[in-house]
């Protein structure tokens, strides 16, 4: 069995805790992304798997092989772990040609010349760089260098592929093309891949599973869709671009659907919840701006109904070309609504007008008010308790 | 900036306006003055060496043109033997010291060797101590049968085969001194090399040693080769070690031959000395050109990548090998020489270990000439260091800010000086100033020594300053200009203020080098204005080793005082700066790092 298994991984740098009790499993053929802000421990985790860093606690298995366990005194050096790695800085060796760079892992493994030549050209062809084999790597563009780095990681057919923010030095257009290439290469190699990034879009589009990390603690593990639509807590919602995080009170409902009320905002909102909640509980209502619509207040409405929407006052309107963004004040909290251009003529609603805010019921999420999930191990983990989130 | 945006659509018009707005290619009076100054100070002495090689008489006695001296020197077999000796001495020194410097740099930056933190301070100390110090103390240590090392070996093994006045002594002492300089030059590249290069090799399956040999060493090769060529060039022109350790053993190299032709022959053979100097300069220029051709284009200095705290290579028991090397180096380069010097300075007569007293210090300080030599040395070092640093700032500013084609000239002329080792520079300066009637009066005054030391230390000051000046973003000056400051005020108030820390370092470095320099005063100073190194050398030459030791101990104490003072000033200023800025230092330090910290 290939794949990577991490149990209770811990790492400190000069007394500062970077990772604590991290558990992860990456299956064969799976592409797992570690997502989080800088300093969250994602790169450290990757480097521990590579053997470039020695963990202070826990165990790492690659396949059936125990490669790191400080307790058992095991530390396999990186050169014996059978991995391929793509570095953020490409890390191509400047004194070698493209061919020599890619051939290096095979030369280390003492393959014969003919095999090396065949395999190197094969893998260069796979990344579209076969024409550049004899070039100096310093003469290549950033995208080309990244392709060579990818080829070098693949050439020895490792069981495990590691990617350390490989696209962060490329421009936006190139990044999308390279993303597809990395996915294709991963599918073809059938390896267990661990991919580190701080870019949520990259994580969502590329991965089979995403692990969101903050300050060395796993916040959520799930499919890209899960992470994107149903964040587990306030941190994940914020990091994945939920523009509106509002304070709300549970008024009813059971199971995974709850009715919420915002103080001073008239009606209410339906939201999904990961677990049943008690009436009167304070929660965070997380909703993306694109899932909120604004309309003029109808003269004869029934604003007491929870599904009837929220009453607010339009603060400002921003015309962003193909869409319109509106800031609305709802009972002292501000929220951001975004609608396609055709739906809302910017002139219909003016600042100061009363508006009815409708939240798509399947898209709103009720979250615990407190921070990270393993709150008991890291009680200090709170984001600043701002109850209002202003859209810009 | 709407006007600029509109203008950029029509590039021609925009460029035209830009040209009018910020005068490019204009040759300012300041630039002309600087170019003239550089030509007179740096280029003229070198040209005058060529002139001197074809003169029949010493500089101040007229004479006529003749190729006789030139040809006679080149056809003299002993000169070519000295040339060969120079190559042998410098070549073997560079090979050994580079190997040691690379090993130590690797040990310090990559491994978990105990005591590795000692190496850099040790090297800085070794570098700061004038080369004459090593040579003198090793000449004493290895003196048979009275040197400290000699006595110790005799006591331990019954025999002491080591004599400092020999090929081994010369090479050994040169290696000790050269290793410090090369280590300090290599530390930057070793630290700056993108560490993921090695990690990529490890992940590819290479062991640490293989990764170092196949990846890191080749990637560092241009830097190492550059340091080797610089070391070889400096070694060719090195006077002190062969003069003190080689000549007594009958080993002659080019610099000692140049000195001998002027000081040791009667009448002084200036044409011959100038010819040898020219030969030396020519060899060096060829080497520098070769270096530029070889590695000018193969620069791997674009070492990007985020730096990540890296695991050090765990050497296991083998790590004590490195510790042993560090300790032995410290013993040979610092402890033994210092110990011998301090002990020797208290001996009534060198080699007599009883009746230790302060008699040497009393004699030295009581001699009228010596007291004034200390004063001369202090003045000369402080003023020369200051002037050289000012010149270096000016040259760097012009080179980086001016748009005229002439801006490269000062920098190039400064580079020429690397090719002119101390003794040849002194000779060139003699020719340059004695051949001009009005300037002849400078000869045998403090002024000519001072001038020569400014010229001699300018390359060092330039090395210390051009980097930090280049790091100061142009925006900072431009922001001052848009805020209403004049060009002068922006330069002085913003730029020079930011250069200040680097200027202090440069001043200190140049001053240290000037205070320990022997090559320049040995030809230029008269008996009434000797500097400390010259006094120490003369005492040594006359057999008064204990007196030389006392003089040098006083000089080292002086340098140590300056160092302590500098550290204290830095501490006080740092404290005040921190208090002024409170906890809010980040915005101030964001744009520039004038001190040139490691990136």
Q: Nearest chain A Cα to B216, which residue? A: A93
A213 contacts A35 by C-beta, under 8 angstroms: yes
Give, as one character, the DSSP assignment of residue A376.
T
Q: Across the interface, do B207 and A79 touch by the CB < 8 Å criterion?
A: yes
**Residue B306 pLDDT class (50, 70, 90 cuts):** very low
Say what the pLDDT of residue B5 is: 36
Distance from the B498 Cα atom to the nearest Cα atom in chain A, whole angstroms:
32
Q: Tell how far CA A237 is from the center of its chain.
A: 11
Measured CA to CA, the distance from residue B473 to residue B355 in angstroms comes to 62
Residues with Cβ within 8 Å of residue B75, at least 6 apart in sequence: none
Q: Three-state DSSP class for A58?
A: strand
* B532, B86, B277, B296 alpha-carbon torsion, rounded to 10°: -100
Measured CA to CA, the distance from residue A166 to residue A153 in angstroms comes to 12
Say what the pLDDT of residue A160 is: 93
Q: Across the interface, do A89 and B305 touch by the CB < 8 Å criterion?
A: yes
Residues with Cβ within 8 Å of residue B448, at least 6 apart in sequence: B429, B433, B442, B524
Picking from B599, B140, B57, the residue whose alpha carbon sits closest to that of residue B340 is B140
Measured CA to CA, the distance from residue B497 to residue B486 in angstroms comes to 15
Q: Evaluate whether B39-44+358-599 and B90-256+319-351 have a shared fold.
A: yes
**How do residues A47-59 score in pLDDT, each as one tens digit?**
999 988 889 999 9
**How do residues B383-413 score in pLDDT, each as one tens digit?**
999 999 999 999 988 888 777 778 888 888 8
> Residue A229, exposed/middle/buried by CB under 10 A (0-12, 13-18, 19+)?
middle
Say what the pLDDT of residue B593 is: 33
Picking from B185, B56, B58, the residue whose alpha carbon sits closest to that of residue B127 is B185
Q: Three-state DSSP class for A299?
A: coil
Distance from the B219 Cα atom to the nearest Cα atom in chain A, whole angstroms:
6
Say what the pLDDT of residue A322 is: 82
Q: Which residues of chain A lie closer than 8 angstroms to B202, CB-CB?
A: 51-52, 77-79
Q: Which residues of chain A lie closer than 8 angstroms to B216, CB-CB?
A: none
B554 contacts B535 by C-beta, under 8 angstroms: no
**Residue B597 pLDDT class (50, 70, 90 cuts):** very low
Lowest mean pLDDT among A262-271, A301-310, B445-454, B566-575: A301-310
Say what the pLDDT of residue A119 is: 94
Say what the pLDDT of residue A382 is: 39
Task: Report the pLDDT averaged over residues B555-562.
Answer: 83
**DSSP strand pairing (A4-13 vs A16-26):** antiparallel
> Residue B410, exposed/middle/buried by CB under 10 A (0-12, 13-18, 19+)?
buried
Q: Chain-wide mean pLDDT for chain B?
A: 80
Angle at B215 between CA A125 and CA B221, to 5 degrees: 120
Chains A, B: CB pairs < 8 Å: 88
Distance from the A224 Cα atom to the nearest Cα atom in chain B, whole angstroms:
28
pLDDT over threshold 80, residue B19 = no
| Co-location of A222 and A337 in the same domain | no
Chunk chain A into consecutive blocks of 10 residues (it has 392) and report each block's average pLDDT, rounded to whole numbers: 87 87 92 92 92 91 93 89 88 87 90 94 92 89 91 91 90 88 91 94 94 92 93 92 91 82 82 85 91 78 57 88 88 88 64 87 84 40 38 34
Q: Nearest chain A Cα to B304, which residue? A: A89
Distance from the B209 Cα atom to the nearest Cα atom in chain A, whole angstroms:
11
| Co-location of A220 and A268 in the same domain | no
Say what the pLDDT of residue A239 is: 92
**Residue B590 pLDDT class (50, 70, 90 cuts):** very low
Measured CA to CA, the distance from residue B561 to residue B555 in angstroms comes to 10
Q: Residue A43 sits in a domain of what CATH number? A: 3.40.50.300
**How do residues B273-285 score in pLDDT, each as one tens digit?**
899 888 888 888 8
| Co-location of A224 and A118 in the same domain | yes
Edge-to-edge strand order for the sheet containing A333-340? A292-296, A354-359, A310-319, A323-330, A333-340
Q: Across the interface, do A152 and B305 touch by the CB < 8 Å criterion?
A: no
Task: Report the pLDDT averaged over residues B508-527.
Answer: 86
**Residue B58 pLDDT class (50, 70, 90 cuts):** confident
A190: left (phi over 0), alpha (psi -120 to 50) or beta: left
DSSP A84-114: EEE-TT----TTSBHHHHHHHHHHHTT--HH
Q: Give domain status of residue A378, yes or no.
A: no
Residue found by looking up tokens 């080769």 in the block: B225
A379 contacts A239 by C-beta, under 8 angstroms: no
> What is B39-44+358-599's CATH number, 3.40.50.12280, 1.10.3720.10, 3.30.200.20, 3.40.1390.10?
1.10.3720.10
Measured CA to CA, the distance from residue B250 to residue B247 in angstroms comes to 5
pLDDT over threshold 90, residue B339 = no
Q: Give domain status of residue A8, yes or no.
A: yes
pLDDT over threshold 90, residue B469 = no
**Residue B576 pLDDT class (50, 70, 90 cuts):** low
Measured CA to CA, the distance from residue A61 to residue B343 in angstroms comes to 62
Instruction: Output helix, strand, coil percentages for chain B, rounded to the nearest 5.
Output: 75, 0, 20
Residues with Cβ within 8 Å of residue A232, at least 6 apart in sequence: A219, A220, A222, A274, A367, A373
Say what the pLDDT of residue A77 is: 87
Residues with Cβ within 8 Å of residue A14, at least 6 apart in sequence: none
Stated length of chain B: 599
Strand partners, A248: A283
Positive/negative CA dihedral, B451, B453, B454, B459: positive
Chain A residues with CB-CB distance to B under 8 A? 13, 43, 47, 50-54, 77-85, 87-89, 91-95, 104-105, 108-109, 138, 149, 152-153, 156, 162
User: How is chain B split into domains, by residue range?
Assistant: 39-44+358-599, 90-256+319-351
Task: Report the pLDDT averaged over residues B7-29.
Answer: 47
Distance from the B309 Cα atom to the nearest Cα atom in chain A, whole angstroms:
9
Residue found by looking up tokens 């990395």 in the block: A182
Enumerate residues 178 to 237 of chain B having a beta carbon within 8 A of any beta carbon in chain A: 194, 196-197, 199-208, 210-211, 214-215, 218-219, 221
Nearest to B204 among A13, A88, A108 (CB): A108
Measured CA to CA, the distance from residue A342 to residue A362 in angstroms comes to 23
Q: Nearest chain B Cα to A164, which residue? A: B196
| Co-location of A322 and A188 in the same domain | no
Residue bearing the bigger pLDDT, B97 or B283: B97
User: The domain containing residue A285 runs over which residues?
Assistant: 242-367
Say what the pLDDT of residue B25 is: 56
| Co-location of A198 and A60 in the same domain | yes
Residue found by looking up tokens 């610092």 in the block: B334
Task: Report the pLDDT averaged over residues B296-309.
Answer: 48
| Co-location of A64 and A110 in the same domain | yes
Q: Tell how far CA A150 is from the center of its chain.
A: 21
Q: Residue A363 sits in a domain of what CATH number? A: 2.40.50.140
Lowest mean pLDDT among A216-225, B136-145, B305-314, B451-460: B305-314
Say what the pLDDT of residue B342 is: 85
Q: Which residues of chain A lie closer than 8 angstroms to B196, CB-CB?
A: 87-89, 91
Residue bearing the bigger pLDDT, A370 or B332: B332
pLDDT over threshold 50, residue B598 = no
Say what the pLDDT of residue B384 is: 94
**Residue B584 pLDDT class (50, 70, 90 cuts):** very low
Q: Nearest chain A Cα to B196, which residue? A: A91
DSSP B121-187: HHHHHHHHS-HHHHHHHHHHHT-TTTSHHHHHHHHHHS-----SSSHHHHHHHHHHHHHHHHHHHHH
pLDDT over threshold 50, residue B84 = yes
Say what the pLDDT of residue B57 is: 77
Edge-to-edge strand order for the sheet containing A16-26? A16-26, A4-13, A57-62, A65-69, A74-75
Q: Across the interface, do A88 and B306 touch by the CB < 8 Å criterion?
A: yes
> Which CATH number is associated with domain B90-256+319-351?
1.10.3720.10
| Co-location of A45 and A82 in the same domain | yes
What share of chain B in percent tops pLDDT 90?
Answer: 13
What is the domain count for chain A? 2
Measured CA to CA, the distance from residue B507 to residue B501 in angstroms comes to 10
* B413, B419, B420, B423 alpha-carbon torsion, rounded to 10°: 160
**Residue B495 pLDDT class (50, 70, 90 cuts):** confident
């Amino acid at each position: 069995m290939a794949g990577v298994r991490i149990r209770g991984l811990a790492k400190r740098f000069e007394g500062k805790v970077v990772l604590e009790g991290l558990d992860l499993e990456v299956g064969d053929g799976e592409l797992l992304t570690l997502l989080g802000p800088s300093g969250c421990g994602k790169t450290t985790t990757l480097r521990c798997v590579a053997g470039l860093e020695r963990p202070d606690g826990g165990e790492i298995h690659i396949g059936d092989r125990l490669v790191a366990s400080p307790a058992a005194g095991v530390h396999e050096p990186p050169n014996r772990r059978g991995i391929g790695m793509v570095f953020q800085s490409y890390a191509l060796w400047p004194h070698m040609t493209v061919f020599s760079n890619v051939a290096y892992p095979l030369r280390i493994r003492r393959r014969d010349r003919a095999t090396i030549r065949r395999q190197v050209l094969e893998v260069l062809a796979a990344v579209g760089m076969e024409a550049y084999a004899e070039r100096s790597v310093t003469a290549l563009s950033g995208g080309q260098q990244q392709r060579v780095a990818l080829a070098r990681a693949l050439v020895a057919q490792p069981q495990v592929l590691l990617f350390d923010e490989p696209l962060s030095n490329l421009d936006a257009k190139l990044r999308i093309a390279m993303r597809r290439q990395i996915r294709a290469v991963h599918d073809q190699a059938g390896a267990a891949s661990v991919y580190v990034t701080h870019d949520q879009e990259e994580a969502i589009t590329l991965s089979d599973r995403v692990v969101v990390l903050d300050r060395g603690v796993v916040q959520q593990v799930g499919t890209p869709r899960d992470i994107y639509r149903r964040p587990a807590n306030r941190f994940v919602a914020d990091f994945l671009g939920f523009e509106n995080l509002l304070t709300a009170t549970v008024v009813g409902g059971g199971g995974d659907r709850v009715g919420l009320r915002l103080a001073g905002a008239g009606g209410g909102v339906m939201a999904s919840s990961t677990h049943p909640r008690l009436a009167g509980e304070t929660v965070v209502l997380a909703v993306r701006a694109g899932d909120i619509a604004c309309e003029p207040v109808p003269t004869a409405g029934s604003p007491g109904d929870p599904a009837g929407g929220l009453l607010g006052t339009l603060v400002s309107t921003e015309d962003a070309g193909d869409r319109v963004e509106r800031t609305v004040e709802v009972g002292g909290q501000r929220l951001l609504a975004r609608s396609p251009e055709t739906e809302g003529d910017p002139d219909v609603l003016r600042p100061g007008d009363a508006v009815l805010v409708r939240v798509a019921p399947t898209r709103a999420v009720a979250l615990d008010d407190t921070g990270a999930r393993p709150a008991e191990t890291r009680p200090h983990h709170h984001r600043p308790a701002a109850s209002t989130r202003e859209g810009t | 900036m709407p006007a600029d945006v509109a203008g950029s659509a029509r590039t021609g018009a925009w460029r035209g306006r830009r040209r009018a707005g910020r005068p490019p290619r204009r040759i300012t009076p300041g630039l002309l003055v600087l170019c003239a100054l550089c030509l007179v100070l740096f280029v003229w002495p070198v040209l005058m060496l060529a002139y001197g090689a074809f003169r029949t008489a010493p500089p101040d006695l007229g004479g006529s043109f003749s190729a006789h001296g030139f040809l006679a020197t080149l056809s003299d077999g002993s000169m070519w033997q000295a040339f060969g000796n120079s190559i042998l001495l410098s070549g073997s020194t560079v090979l050994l010291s580079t190997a040691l410097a690379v090993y130590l740099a690797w040990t310090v930056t990559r491994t978990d060797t105990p005591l590795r933190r000692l190496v850099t301070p040790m090297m800085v100390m070794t570098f700061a101590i004038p080369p004459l110090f090593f040579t003198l103390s090793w000449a004493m240590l290895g003196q048979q049968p009275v040197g400290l090392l000699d006595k110790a070996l005799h006591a331990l093994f019954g025999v002491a085969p080591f004599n400092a006045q020999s090929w081994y002594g010369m090479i050994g002492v040169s290696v000790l001194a050269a290793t410090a300089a090369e280590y300090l030059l290599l530390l930057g590249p070793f630290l700056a090399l993108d560490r993921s290069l090695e990690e990529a090799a490890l992940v590819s399956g290479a062991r640490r040693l293989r990764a170092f040999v196949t990846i890191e060493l080749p990637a560092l090769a241009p830097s190492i080769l550059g340091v080797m060529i610089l070391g070889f060039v400096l070694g060719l022109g090195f006077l002190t070690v062969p003069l003190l350790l080689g000549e007594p053993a009958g080993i002659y190299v080019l610099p000692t031959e140049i000195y001998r032709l002027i000081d040791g022959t009667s009448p002084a053979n200036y044409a011959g000395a100038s010819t040898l100097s020219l030969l030396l300069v020519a060899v060096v220029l060829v080497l520098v050109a070769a270096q530029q051709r070889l590695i000018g284009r193969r620069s791997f200095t674009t070492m990007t990548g985020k730096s990540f705290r890296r695991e050090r290579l765990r050497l296991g028991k083998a790590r004590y090998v490195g510790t042993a090397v560090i300790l032995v180096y410290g013993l040979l380069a610092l402890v033994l020489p210092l110990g011998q010097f301090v002990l020797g300075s208290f001996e009534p007569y060198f080699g007599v270990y009883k009746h230790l007293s302060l008699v040497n210090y009393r004699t030295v300080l009581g001699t009228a000439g010596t007291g004034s030599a200390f004063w001369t040395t202090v003045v000369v070092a402080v003023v020369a260091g200051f002037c050289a640093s000012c010149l270096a700032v000016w040259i760097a500013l012009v080179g980086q800010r001016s748009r005229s084609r002439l801006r490269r000239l000062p920098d190039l002329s400064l580079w020429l000086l690397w090719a002119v080792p101390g003794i040849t520079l002194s000779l060139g300066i003699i020719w340059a100033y004695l051949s001009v009637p009005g300037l002849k009066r400078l000869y045998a005054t403090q002024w000519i020594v001072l001038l020569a030391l400014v010229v001699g230390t300018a390359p060092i000051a330039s090395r210390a300053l051009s980097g930090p000046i280049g790091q100061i973003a142009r925006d900072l000056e431009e922001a001052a200009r848009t805020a209403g400051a004049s060009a002068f005020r922006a330069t002085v108030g913003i730029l020079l203020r930011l250069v200040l820390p680097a200027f202090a370092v440069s001043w200190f470095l140049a001053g240290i080098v000037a205070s320990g320099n022997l090559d320049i005063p040995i030809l230029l100073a008269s008996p009434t204005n000797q500097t400390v190194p010259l006094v120490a050398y003369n005492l040594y030459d006359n057999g008064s080793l204990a007196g030389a030791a006392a003089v040098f101990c006083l000089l080292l104490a002086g340098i140590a005082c300056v160092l302590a003072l500098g550290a204290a000033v830095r501490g006080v200023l740092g404290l005040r700066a921190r208090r002024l800025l409170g906890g809010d230092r980040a915005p101030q330090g964001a744009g520039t790092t004038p001190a040139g910290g490691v990136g």
